[in-house]
């Protein structure tokens, strides 16, 4: 359906002129060239519609999901003030965006701030709950959009630093991670709190669930939480990215030695500007990092409690002039971090699920760019790797 409407513009989606102006500035291009991505064209009108309270937006990585939910939220906050006379209050965010990592908090807030230059609203990201830092930020003016993790949000409520009494919009970004990685109960409690607040109000809450993958377990959870959930998914979901060249290297050639296989892949692709290597564990990242150093290959390690600060490591990796062109990471880098500059993803360890595979290889070939992914395949990895290769070859959904 979408492909028959390639001439769709942001101005066709029900966005107000000032929001369109913000998009134009954000995308830094001419108005007549701005085209919404598939998920944006499908989601924005639905999210703006008062008929649809609970909406799922699922699309492949790098497809523009952040703008797909942010633009409707910003417009509705604006309408609430202008049309319904909603007053902004200190410590009372009107929209809550939950994400699984600190890195994604800062990335979403960065997008909010760029849009807020045109549409005047205030966003705040809380990565860690430090009273000395958070209280002055909350006291300096009303917060329209609060971006944080479920754990930090629960702490903010427990310490009575914020109230959800005015929160009408809630977004759960990277929902597969939020519900599958231990935050499920925190998310349920927050959903329940907001729904209880709005139970007797004429204007109900609006929940937006956003994800790049939809494991069956998450599907089941969402169906229980939101029986009338409107589901928007792109045809590309769980399929191989069109601009991604994927190759699978059998470790038999290297007598099972992953380190030698990695070194050969790095040498063969020496012209790649930025390479992201994934390992399954923190210990593996440390070992690979140390081993590459003995081979005079400079690399940045990224994992929880790494010796280099995570923000500093990511900044250095993103800088084309830094000389830090290889990063070795756990799955901490597989979701929500801006990696449009990554040319090559190498799966040193093969992931344990198709969902993790899609997230990892989705760190390159994003937003219309081209990229490549190389997977090192040991004996225990072959069954899943063969299944993925078949899906790539046939263009079918990866299950």
On the question of pLDDT at 181 being above 80, the answer is: no
Domain that holds residue 146: 2-233
The answer to whether residues 199 and 61 belong to one domain is yes
Q: Does the pLDDT value for residue 310 go beyond 90? A: no
Residue 273 counted as domain residue: yes
Res. 394: pLDDT tops 80: yes
Higher pLDDT, 367 or 268: 268
Domain count of the fold of the chain? 2
Does some domain include residue 399?
no
Q: Residue 315, Cβ neighbours under 10 Å: how many?
A: 12
Look at residue 2 and tell me whether its pLDDT is greater than 80: no
Cα–Cα dist 370/358, whole Å: 16
pTM summary value: 0.85
Between 351 and 238, name the one with better pLDDT. 351
**Looking at the domain assignment, is residue 220 inside a domain?**
yes
For residues 215 and 285, membership in a common domain is answered with: no
pLDDT tens-digit readout, 246-276? 999 999 999 999 999 999 999 999 999 999 9
DSSP symbols for 45-57: HHHH-TT-SEEEE
Phi, then psi, of 39 in degrees rounded to 5: -70, -30
> Residue 33: its pLDDT value, please?
54
Rounded CA-CA distance 295/289 in Å is 10
Q: How many residues does the chain have?
A: 399
Q: Are residues 321 and 224 in the same domain?
A: no
What pLDDT sits at residue 46? 96
* Nearest residue to 167 (alpha-carbon basis) of 106, 89, 225: 89
Query: Is residue 183 included in any domain, yes or no?
Result: yes
- If you average pLDDT over residues 122-127, what whole number do you get? 96
H helices within 309-398, ranges in order?
Answer: 310-318, 354-361, 382-394
Residue 3 has pLDDT above 50, yes or no: no
The average pLDDT across 121-139 equals 95
Greatest Cα pair distance, the chain, in angstroms, is 70
Q: Is residue 173 located within the same domain as residue 249?
A: no
Instruction: Report how far apart, in Å, the C-alpha atoms of 235 and of each of 55, 57, 232, 238, 396 are.
Output: 17, 12, 10, 9, 10
Name which residue leads in pLDDT, 164 or 217: 164
Instruction: Report pLDDT for 387.
Output: 93
Residue 6's pLDDT band, with cuts at 50, 70 and 90, is low
Q: State whether 291 and 349 are in the same domain.
A: yes
């Amino acid at each position: 359906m979408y492909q028959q409407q390639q001439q769709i513009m942001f101005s066709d989606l029900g966005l107000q002129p000032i929001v369109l102006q913000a998009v134009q500035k954000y995308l830094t291009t001419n108005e007549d060239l701005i085209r919404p991505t598939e998920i944006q064209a499908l989601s924005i009108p639905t999210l703006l519609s008062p008929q649809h309270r609970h909406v799922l937006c699922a699309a492949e990585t790098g497809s523009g999901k952040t703008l797909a939910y942010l633009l409707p939220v910003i417009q509705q906050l604006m309408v609430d003030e202008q049309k319904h006379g909603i007053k902004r209050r200190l410590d009372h965010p009107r929209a809550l965006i939950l994400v699984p990592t600190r890195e994604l908090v800062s990335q979403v807030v960065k997008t909010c701030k760029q849009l807020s230059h045109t549409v005047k609203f205030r966003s705040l990201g809380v990565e860690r709950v430090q009273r000395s830092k958070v209280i002055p930020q909350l006291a300096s003016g009303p917060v329209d959009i609060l971006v944080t993790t479920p754990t930090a949000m629960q702490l903010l409520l427990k310490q009575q630093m914020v109230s959800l009494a005015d929160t009408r919009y809630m977004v759960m970004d990277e929902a597969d991670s939020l519900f599958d990685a231990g935050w499920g109960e925190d998310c349920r409690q927050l959903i329940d709190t907001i729904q209880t607040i709005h139970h007797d109000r004429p204007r109900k809450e609006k929940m937006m669930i956003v994800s790049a993958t939809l494991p069956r377990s998450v599907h089941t959870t969402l169906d229980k939480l939101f029986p009338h959930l409107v589901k928007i998914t792109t045809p590309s979901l769980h399929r191989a990215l069109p601009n991604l060249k994927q190759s699978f290297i059998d470790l038999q050639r290297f007598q099972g030695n992953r380190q030698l296989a990695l070194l050969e892949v790095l040498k063969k692709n020496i012209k790649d500007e930025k390479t992201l290597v994934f390992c399954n564990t923190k210990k593996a990242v440390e070992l690979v990092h140390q081993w590459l150093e003995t081979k005079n290959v400079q690399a940045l390690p990224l994992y929880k409690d790494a010796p280099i600060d995570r923000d500093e490591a990511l900044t250095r990796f993103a800088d084309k002039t830094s000389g830090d062109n290889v990063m070795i990471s756990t799955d901490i880098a597989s979701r929500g971090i801006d990696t449009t500059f990554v040319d090559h993803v190498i799966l040193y360890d093969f992931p344990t699920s198709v969902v993790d595979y899609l997230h990892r290889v989705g760190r390159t070939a994003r937003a219309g760019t081209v990229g490549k992914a190389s997977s090192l395949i040991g004996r225990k990895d072959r069954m899943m790797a063969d299944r993925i290769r078949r899906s790539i070859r046939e263009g079918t959904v990866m299950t």
